């Protein structure tokens, strides 16, 4: 993680989700200053919700051009976003914003027919049963078997940035952004009954192997991408890619993570 109090971004791009609220806000903001295409920008202002922010971040990763992203919430939850105030221009706020570094998970999923697929996940990678049959999954950490057979609806591995998303709804732990940890969380586990998951160092390499895949097919989902009928999945934090999110002072993501743990 990195942080700073002064940012000097001379060229800003503006991206808005297709929603009516975001498009209306974009129309107003375009009148407040000069904007450049994303390809020429030093940073990007993102209007929308968490889903659109993830879309923008993934696009940066695919195109191998990553610049800082400052989100303004015009969606529903907006956990990755800042509060939107129509009276304040983003250029004034970005100068004082705090930067947070986020490293994505790299998923390599191998299907039952031997095909290999690789995607990045900023929030989490989840494995989910495809039919009414309970999934049976072997869990390995750094090549060592930890659970020979987990009978469940699924399992997920979440980053600190994603620990308050699907992971939290599955009763997984909330991870501070500077924890350098990953949350390994079962989804509706049946056996072993008492296992509620684990917190792992983010240098860990996690492997999931599917038991009885013909009878109990399982899909793997990396944020927005789904691969069906998998045989095994390999996960690790990227050592070469790093994203930067910008947050207003007092409204940074790590503060929201702390706050979330006291909501009852």
Catalytic residue numbers read 50
Q: 187 and 126 in contact (C-beta within 8 Å)?
A: yes
Strand partners, 137: 150, 210
Length of the chain: 264
Is 41 annotated to bind ligand? no
- Edge-to-edge strand ranges of the sheet holding 154-158: 198-201, 181-187, 154-158, 124-129, 218-222, 225-227
Cα dihedral 166, 169, 172, 177, rounded to 10, equals 60
Q: Is 151 marked as binding a ligand?
A: no
- Is 34 labelled a binding residue? no
Q: Is 167 annotated as a binding residue?
A: yes
| Residue 168 annotated as lining a ligand binding site | yes
Are 117 and 127 a contacting pair, CB within 8 Å? no
The distance from CA 221 to its chain's CA centroid, rounded to whole angstroms, is 12
- Say whether 153 counts as a known binding-site residue: yes
Is 124 annotated as contributing to ligand binding? yes
Q: Is 113 annotated as a binding residue?
A: no
Rounded Cα distance between 109 and 88, Å, is: 44
Q: Which residues pair with 222 in a beta bridge?
A: 125, 225
- Is 234 known to sit in a ligand binding site? no
The answer to whether the annotation marks 123 as part of a ligand binding site is: yes
SS3 content of the chain, % helix, strand, coil (to 5): 20, 40, 45
Annotated binding-site residues read 50-51, 55, 123-124, 153, 161, 164-169
Binding residues for NAD(+): 50-51, 55, 123-124, 153, 161, 164-169
């Amino acid at each position: 993680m990195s942080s700073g109090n002064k940012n000097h971004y001379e060229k800003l791009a503006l991206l808005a989700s297709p929603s009516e609220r975001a498009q209306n806000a974009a129309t107003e903001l375009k009148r407040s200053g000069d904007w450049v295409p994303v390809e020429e920008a030093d940073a990007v202002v993102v209007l929308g919700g968490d889903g659109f922010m993830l879309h923008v971040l993934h696009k940066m990763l695919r195109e191998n051009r990553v610049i800082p992203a400052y989100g303004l919430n015009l969606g529903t939850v907006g956990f990755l976003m800042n509060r939107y105030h129509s009276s304040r221009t983003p250029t004034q706020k970005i100068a004082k914003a705090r930067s947070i570094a986020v490293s994505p998970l790299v998923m390599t999923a191998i299907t039952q027919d031997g095909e290999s697929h690789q995607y990045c996940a900023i929030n989490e990678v989840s494995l989910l049963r495809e039919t009414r049959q309970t999934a049976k999954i072997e869990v390995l950490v750094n090549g060592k078997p930890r659970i020979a057979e987990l009978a469940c609806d699924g399992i997920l591995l979440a980053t600190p940035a994603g620990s308050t998303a699907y992971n939290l709804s599955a009763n997984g732990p909330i991870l501070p952004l500077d924890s350098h940890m990953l949350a390994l969380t079962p989804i509706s586990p049946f056996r072993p009954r008492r296992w509620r998951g684990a917190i792992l160092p983010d240098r860990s390499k996690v492997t999931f192997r599917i038991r009885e895949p013909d009878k109990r097919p399982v899909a793997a989902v990396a944020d927005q991408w789904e691969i069906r009928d998998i045989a095994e999945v390999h996960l690790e934090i990227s050592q070469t890619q790093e994203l930067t999110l910008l947050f207003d002072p007092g409204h940074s993501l790590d503060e929201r993570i702390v706050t979330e743990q006291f909501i009852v």
